[in-house]
Each structure stands twice: as C-alpha cells, then as structure tokens.
Amino acid sequence: MSKFRILVGIVLFPALIGLLSSYTIPNGQGKLNITIAHYAGTTLLNLDDSEYKNELGQTFTVSRFRYYMSNITLKTEDGRELISPTSFLVDEAEPDSKKIELTDIPALKYVSISFIIGVDSLHNVSGAQGDNLDPAKGMFWTWSTGYIFLKLEGHARASTSPGHIFEYHIGGYAAPNNCIRKVTLKLANGGLNVSNRGANNIRLKADILEILKTPFTVDFSKLSSVTDLHNATTIADNYADMFTVAK
Amino acid sequence: MKWVYFTVFACCLYLGLNSFTENNPYFIITAKDVQLQIPPGFPKPVYEFKDNQVTPEGFVLGRKLFYDPILSRDSSVSCAFCHQRIAAFAHIDHTLSHGINGLIGNRNVPPLQNLIWQQNFMWDGGINHLEVQPLAPLSNDKEMGETLQTVLAKLQKNKEYVSAFNDAFKDTVITSQRMLRALAQFTGLMISSNSRYDKYVKGDEEFNEHELSGLKLFKNHCENCHKMPLFTDNTFRNIGLKPDTALRDSGRIRITGVEDDYMKFKVPSLRNVAMTYPYMHDGRFRTLQQVLRYYANGNFFGNYDKSIERNIGLTDAEQADIIAFLKTLTDQQFLHDRRFADPNFR
C-alpha cells in the first residue's frame, strides 16, 4: 500500500515544523478508498455489448478502456497537501483496479483531490520499472520510450480503419507532445473528514464520452487512430475533463 | 586401429565440449571481470548502474540472454545475431537489420560500445534509457517480433533461466525489470577505450605520418561532431543525405514531432569504425572511402547542418589520411574481450 508522504513544496521552515507536528497529533490516521465508476454519458460503461453515440451521432462500442492515474494528492482546508507518488493502472476490464486504497492518511478534513492522468516525466525516464509501471502491462511504447497514459479502443461504423476499429493510445511526457493532464476536483459536501475509524470514501466518475469531445469533437470517419504523437495532445485535452466527483 | 583412436578422440571431444563452458576459464566471470572502470579522460557516465549493481551472476545472465534466440518469436534470432562481437557488436556487411522469417528492418545496426555514456539510443534517439533499450528490437515486427509477456513466460518455464535468475537476483520469479537489468549489466560493460589511438594518447604507441596527418585533419574537419574521447557529441544532425524513397525514414522528427528534426540522425561514435561497415543510418555507404568522398563532394540535400561544409574539397590524399587515422580507432582488446564471447559453444 502506498505510504503518504508530506509534500513540503514551498512551505517555509517554521511552517514546516508546524505542519509536521500537526500530523502527529493524536487524531491518528485513517484509510481512504477511492472508487472509480466508468460512464458513457449517464449510463455505466459496458464493454463490447452496449452502443453509444458521440457528439456527431456516430454509434460505437468500447472494447478497452484503461489509463494511469498517478500522484494522487489531497488538500486540506488550509492548503496543505499530501501526495502519494504511486501510479495506478485503472482498467475497466479489471474491477479491482477501480478501487484504490490509500493508507496512513492523517485524520484531517480534506477539501479537494487532484491527480494526473498519465505517468509523471520522472517515471518515464527511469529505466526498467516494476509493479504497475512494468512494461509487461502493455502500457509502454518500445520504439519511443514512454508510458501510454490512456487506451480507448472499440468499434465504430463510421471508422474507415480495417474492421471499423478505433484506437486511441495516448502518451508523451515531453513538450510539445506532453499528454499528462492534471485533474483537480472539489470533494462532495464541502469536504471529507478522514477519521481513524470506519470507511472514508471518495467516489469518482470518469465519462468516456468526454474523451471524444470538448474541446475537439472526434469524428470517427476522420480520426479513428491515434497511436503516436500525432493528434495525441488533442485527445489529451479532451480527457482532461473526464472526471467528476460523484454526489 | 585408426578408427579406435578416432572413437576415443570423439568421446573425449564430446565429454570435453559438454563441460566446455562451465569449466573453461575463458567463460568464467569473476568479480574482477565485472568491475566498472572509467577510462582516463572519459566523462562521468550517464548510466551508473544505480539500483543495478553489476555482479558476476547478473552479468552471466545478461550474456546468456544476449546470445539466446529464445527472445525472438520463433527462436531464430538473438541479440547477437545482429550485434557481432567481431564488429564491435554491429552487423558486418549488412546494410539493414535482419529479423525473424528473413525480414529486413529499416535501419543499419549500430555497434554496442560505451553505451553508458549515451543519453539516448537508436538512430533517432527514441529510447531514453539503457535498461529499456532491448524492448525495441524485441517487439519490432521486423526484428524479434516478440511480446514481453511471452518472453517472460518462456523464460519462466525454462529451468536453466529460473536458476540463473535466482543466482542473479536471489529470486526465482522472472520479471521484465530483472531481465532488462541483467542485459544492462552485460551491455553496459562493453567499453572500448584501448585502441591504438588511445595508446597513442597515453604515449604507448606511435603514429606514422599518414595517421598523424589524419589526426590533425580529423580535429579540423570531423571533431566538431565526432567529439573525442567518445567520438560523438551525442547530438542529432542532418548531414544532407537524400531520403531513401523506399524506407521513407524521416529520422528524429518521428520521435519529437519537431519540424526542425526532419532527417536528423544521431551522430555515431567512430570508435571501431573500420569494423562497423557499412555506414549511415541506412547503410548506404559500403566503405569509409565512400563516406569521405560524400563529405568532400558536397552534394548535400535539404536543410543540412552547415558545419559539414568545411569538408568540401578534401583532397584524395587528405581523405586517405583521415581514413588511416580512423583505422587507429579499432580496439583489438575490445573486439576479442573474452567476457563478451558467446558462451553457447556446446
């Protein structure tokens, strides 16, 4: 399980002392469960069998949806941040991957959660890695080093690719092709009081329709494949807003 | 009577070969063999074996993997298939890489030497770390055509490998990280720094007049890019080569997407260059003479690096002297280093 560590950032030294001591007060620590539900608009995503429509009314099915969620950060009311430097691989086909458990969370009130969709640049240049970042997970480019941050694949009648498939494999950690997108979301009901007893839950929704629109409306007949840096940032700009906090 | 001698001889040979690699000191790797020694005058390496301390067992595992075609889809092609020791681990006399099913790849096989001083790998610099470099040929359809998952499954099923991984990493679970780190231990120690030129610099060797003249010319004409002591500045440059219409290789732009990187390729090291023919990213020049003539003629194409214009008009004699100098970069000790020899003699 990922250990939380204190992000000192720009906090000055005296403030740091205060920060550290506040984390050791006897409120203790709790567990946090982040559950993610994948949607296509207002309905839960169902791989292969269900048909959806994009902004242009083109019908499609989804066969694969997986992405990296990294560096989950929680912010307290007074602006202190806790960061987990771990990368999670969330996969619609792996129900367990949609439940992320974080331990050792100081019992405080948190008002927002942020994370990146993708893998930070440091972990893209650090050689052979294990666990979720094992290249054998199939989310790694071998001809141009770097992680594939997000894969969305499926079939669309309108696609001109063989078998009417569409595939968006989005990655790239360096400018001008940087596809890392930071997501910051306010927590529901004004915030979450993490306690050292019972369940502390944050429920997130990710809507795959958002990957196909705003700012760029994807037309399957014109853009059915993005598997290198061409058009990658366009799709990244689209997925930047796919998450919301469930009420 | 003769056939009796022959049978006895054959039996001895058979028994001898069976234990050839295990007992032959030529193949035994000791702690001393895997000590990293930075040659005098070389800069600090980019890859410092952090989290991957070289051990004899790790190195031996890397060597075993390097020479084993198990890494390819049909078990026909090993790393060493294209990276021959006698050619400083380039592919002698092959313009483009070869792969499974007789397929021909898109680029000329680069030598493997002094890799720990490279920030990135491949002609287009697409690979950013020594450890992940082997994944490129491994998964390339025209080279080894294999998936990482399948390779790991094949290795895990193989008793010899389970034991070799256990020796190297004290664990019988074979992971991609362990496989790649073992390969990095092996390839990372491929260091060439004992050419005649190096000995000349140390004062242990003398150059003849052509070599001396070649050295001087080299410093004026070539060293701008082929910087000593690595004989590359690790940059990417367009040297005015006309794109091959069949390969349609556009160079580094494929990696960066930056217009200015069109037709730029990595400046290759010239160490052991006499052994790594043919030349250029697509192997278009068979000989060093052709390379020098190309620069001297000045028929450069496209938006090339203007610094190469200094070579226009090099005379035949000057070209010959530069080649005489380049031949002093051949490192016999490296080309015959027993540590890097194929252990699969049986």
Query: Nearest residue of B to residue A230 by CA position?
Result: B257
Q: Which residue has the higher pLDDT, B58 or B345?
A: B58
Q: Is B167 exposed, middle or buried (0-12, 13-18, 19+ CB in 10 A)?
A: middle
For residue B309, pLDDT beyond 80: yes
Coil, helix or strand for B55?
coil
Contacts of A177 in chain B (CB under 8 A): 256-257
Structural domain span for residue A19: 5-245
| Average confidence (pLDDT) over B235-251 | 96
A145 in reach of chain B (CB within 8 A): yes
**Cα–chain center distance at A68:** 6
The pLDDT of residue B49: 98
Contacts of A146 in chain B (CB under 8 A): 128
A109 in reach of chain B (CB within 8 A): no
Q: How confident is the model at residue B20 (pLDDT cuts 50, 70, 90)?
A: low
Task: Please report the number of interchain residue pairs, chain A to chain B, with beta-carbon separation below 8 angstroms.
Answer: 66
CB contact under 8 A, B140 and A142: yes
Q: Please, what's the largest Cα pairwise distance for chain B? A: 77
The DSSP letter of residue A200 is -
Q: Which of B173, B177, B183, B260 is the best substitution to test chain A (most A C-beta atoms within 10 A)?
A: B177
pLDDT digits (tens, 9 = 90+) for B176-226: 999 999 999 999 999 999 999 999 999 999 999 999 999 999 999 999 999
Segment 25-84 of chain A within 8 Å of chain B by CB: none
For residue B199, give both structure tokens: 């000995």
For residue A25, pLDDT beyond 90: no
Contacts of B184 in chain A (CB under 8 A): 127-128
Torsions phi, psi for A153 (to 5 deg): -130, 155
The DSSP letter of residue A214 is S
Contact B251, B124 (CB under 8 A): yes
The pLDDT of residue A18: 40
Q: Which of B122, B123, B176 is the best substitution to test chain A (most A C-beta atoms within 10 A)?
A: B176
Domain total of chain A: 1
Contact B69, B113 (CB under 8 A): no
CB contact under 8 A, B177 and A129: yes
- Which is nearest to A234 in space by CA: A152, A159, A179? A179
CB contact under 8 A, A143 and B126: yes
| Average confidence (pLDDT) over B117-132 | 98
- Which is nearest to A120 in space by CA: A170, A152, A85? A85
HSE-CB for A231 with a 13 A CA cutoff: 17
Calculate ∠ Cα B323-B326-B327, nearest 5°.
Answer: 90
Measured from the Cβ of residue B217, the count of other Cβ atoms closer than 10 Å reads 20
Query: Nearest residue of B to residue A232 by CA position?
Result: B257
Q: Which of B130, B148, B150, B236 is the best substitution to test chain A (most A C-beta atoms within 10 A)?
A: B148
For residue B270, give both structure tokens: 């010239």
Least confident of A227-236, B96-105, B147-156: B96-105
Query: Nearest residue of B to residue A133 by CA position?
Result: B177
What's chain A's average pLDDT?
91
| Average confidence (pLDDT) over B157-170 | 98
Q: How confident is the model at residue B8 (pLDDT cuts 50, 70, 90)?
A: low
Q: How confident is the model at residue A198 (pLDDT cuts 50, 70, 90)?
A: confident
CB crowding A161-190: b at 16 or more within 10 Å, else e: eeebbbbbbbbbbbeebebbbebeeebeee
Segment 201-230 of chain A within 8 Å of chain B by CB: 228-230
Q: Which residue has the tokens 């997925």?
A: A239
Q: How confident is the model at residue B64 (pLDDT cuts 50, 70, 90)?
A: very high
Contacts of B255 in chain A (CB under 8 A): 144
A10 in reach of chain B (CB within 8 A): no
Query: Nearest residue of A to residue B47 by CA position?
Result: A127
B280 in reach of chain A (CB within 8 A): no
A131 in reach of chain B (CB within 8 A): no
Q: How confident is the model at residue B10 (pLDDT cuts 50, 70, 90)?
A: low
> Which of A130, A145, A228 lies nearest to residue B132, judging by beta carbons?
A145
The pLDDT of residue A247: 80
CA distances from A30 to A27, A86, B266, B289 (A): 9, 18, 52, 72
| Average confidence (pLDDT) over B243-264 | 95
The pLDDT of residue A8: 37
One DSSP character per residue, B199-226 reads HHHHTSS---HHHHHHHHHHHHHTTTTS
CB contact under 8 A, B257 and A143: no
Distance from CA of B137 to the nearest CA of A (A): 8
Q: How many residues does chain A have?
A: 247
Torsions phi, psi for B307 (to 5 deg): -65, -15
Which domains does chain B possess?
Answer: 21-191 (1.10.760.10), 196-330 (1.10.760.10)
**Which residues face A244 on adjacent strands?**
A205
Helix H or strand E encompassing B162: helix B159-169
Q: Which of B50, B51, B132 is the best substitution to test chain A (most A C-beta atoms within 10 A)?
A: B132
Q: Which of A131, A137, A142, A229 is the best substitution to test chain B (most B C-beta atoms within 10 A)?
A: A142
| Average confidence (pLDDT) over B38-55 | 97
Alpha-carbon span B99 to A84, nearest angstrom: 43
CB contact under 8 A, B148 and A135: yes
pLDDT digits (tens, 9 = 90+) for A113-169: 999 999 999 999 999 999 999 999 999 999 999 999 999 999 999 999 999 999 999
Residues 6+ apart with CB under 8 A from B267: B225, B226, B232, B233, B234, B235, B236, B237
Contacts of B257 in chain A (CB under 8 A): 176-177, 229-230
> Which of B130, B175, B184 lies nearest to residue A134, judging by beta carbons?
B175
Contacts of B132 in chain A (CB under 8 A): 127-128, 135, 140, 142, 145
For residue B160, give both structure tokens: 């010899």
CB contact under 8 A, A124 and B148: no
Distance from CA of B128 to the nearest CA of A (A): 6
CB contact under 8 A, A142 and B128: no
What's chain B's average pLDDT?
94
Contacts of B254 in chain A (CB under 8 A): 144, 228
Q: How confident is the model at residue B24 (pLDDT cuts 50, 70, 90)?
A: confident
The pLDDT of residue B2: 59
Contacts of B256 in chain A (CB under 8 A): 177, 229
pLDDT digits (tens, 9 = 90+) for B272-296: 999 999 999 999 999 999 999 999 9
**Which residues face A182 on adjacent strands?**
A116
